Amino acid sequence: MNFEFDESLSKIFRAVKAIGAEVTGMAPNKEFAEDISVETYGKESQLGGKADAMRHITFSALASQQYSEPVAKTISVLNENITYNQSQAEKDMDYANDAIGREIAKKAKSKEEIVEMAKEAIDTGKAKTIKDNTGPYY
């Protein structure tokens, strides 16, 4: 069977991912990570910038705490491999920031601490960003 991954299939996978977030109880974490990233760094850096990094770090930390580090890592790998037209640089950035989130999860005792540690990682340059521009994200 010849399998070609295209934008239509990516849309279907994103819909399944959203349903999975609802079923597993991770939707509130996803929404929190999205909201705090825009609140902290603005919409203009959602794709490849600081808000993107914040979203990945925060969600990964919350997923690690809610389930486990291996589950959070699996989510990261699946997420990066069902996104259509994402460059390798974007994937590498997201993987790096997801790993930072999993490390933060081991130390943080609350959402507030996760957010503070994520901001510190981003503001000190430990987190990875590749650009600061506008655009949709998946």
- Over the stretch 9-44, which tens digit does the pLDDT of each residue have? 667 766 776 776 676 777 889 899 999 999 999 888
The mean pLDDT of 115-121, rounded to a whole number, is 98
Residue in the structure block whose two tokens are 């996760």: 114
Q: Residue 107 — very low, low, confident or very high, per pLDDT cuts 50/70/90?
A: very high
Q: pTM to 2 decimals?
A: 0.81
Q: Can you tell me the distance from the alpha carbon of 54 to that of 2, in angstroms, rounded to the nearest whole number? A: 37
Residue-range domain boundaries for the chain: 7-123
Measured between alpha carbons, how far is 19 from 6 in angstroms, rounded to an integer? 20
Using CA atoms, how far apart are residues 30 and 63, in angstroms rounded to an integer?
9
Strand ranges inside 22-86, DSSP E: none
